[in-house]
């Protein structure tokens, strides 16, 4: 744990100096462990192949498993994925918030950002993520801060013990033990819940009852 770059953060009031430091590390292709409104995530710029590859190697994640991306607003979703009537309704009711939409891809990104012509899109309600994205001109990975397939890591200390100096900055917001974001695939006229999370199936069905 010695010499690791660990900084305390209040994710609701992250402070301009910390946002600037984080943005500069990400700009150079670094990887950040940071809080979202649900759990900790690993953030790296999606337009740098070497950054994405490094992230996958760290997580021991196969490239056949896509990583979702953070976008700045729900209006940005259409820039990356093919919106459907269902996805638009879910975005209207739950975004920004803890839901990941998996849509037919319309971006120019290659695997593992896009897998099987699908892309996962996350519009976070975290003030920290929102402020960070507004200070950079690229999008970020939205993937959990753990070894792929392993147990969730709820604290910066646990994440630091796992990844050590492979992560360039750890932002410590204390213990985050919320359920993860709910992942919903919306293709054509249908939808499927790929991961059950903090937004329940019942709330999703209620949202879509009129469609």
What are the chain's domains?
A: 6-207 (3.90.870.10)
Say what the pLDDT of residue 211 is.
83
Say what the pLDDT of residue 161 is.
96
Q: pLDDT tens across 151-209, in order?
A: 999 999 999 999 999 999 999 999 999 999 999 999 999 999 999 999 999 999 999 99
Helix 127-134 / helix 16-27 crossing angle, nearest 10 deg: 60
Instruction: Give the model's confidence band at 210: pLDDT under 50 very low, under 70 low, under 90 confident, else very high.
Output: confident
Structure-block tokens of residue 152: 């969730």
Instruction: Give the model's confidence band at 1: pLDDT under 50 very low, under 70 low, under 90 confident, else very high.
Output: low
pLDDT (mean) for 70-96: 98
Whole-number CA gyration radius for the chain: 16
Q: pLDDT tens across 95-145, in order?
A: 999 999 999 999 999 999 999 999 999 999 999 999 999 999 999 999 999
Tally of CB atoms within 10 A around 44: 27
Coil, strand, or helix at residue 158?
Answer: helix
Pairing of the two strands 169-172 and 32-35: parallel
* Residue 2, pLDDT above cutoff 90: no
Mean pLDDT estimate for the chain:
96
Q: Which of 177, 179, 140 is nearest to 158 (CA)?
A: 177
Report the predicted TM-score, pTM, of the whole model to 2 decimal places: 0.95
């Amino acid at each position: 744990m010695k010499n690791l770059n660990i900084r305390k953060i209040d994710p609701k009031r992250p402070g301009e100096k910390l946002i600037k430091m984080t943005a500069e590390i990400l700009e150079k292709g670094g990887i950040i462990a940071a809080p979202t409104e649900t759990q900790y995530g690993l953030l790296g710029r999606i337009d740098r192949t070497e950054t994405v590859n490094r992230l996958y190697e760290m997580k021991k994640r196969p490239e056949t498993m896509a990583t979702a991306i953070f976008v700045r607003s729900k209006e940005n979703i259409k820039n990356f994925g093919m919106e459907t009537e269902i996805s638009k309704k879910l975005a209207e009711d739950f975004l920004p918030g803890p839901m990941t939409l998996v849509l037919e891809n319309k971006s120019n990104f290659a695997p593992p950002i896009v897998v099987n012509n699908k892309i996962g899109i996350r519009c976070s309600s975290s003030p920290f993520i929102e402020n960070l994205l507004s200070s950079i001109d690229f999008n970020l990975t939205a993937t959990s801060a753990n070894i792929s397939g392993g147990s969730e890591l709820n604290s910066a200390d646990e994440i630091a013990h796992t990844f050590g100096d492979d992560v360039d900055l750890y932002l410590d917001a204390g213990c985050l033990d919320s359920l993860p974001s709910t992942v919903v695939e919306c293709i054509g006229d249908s939808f499927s819940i790929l991961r059950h999370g903090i937004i329940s199936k019942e709330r999703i069905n209620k949202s879509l009852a009129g469609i």
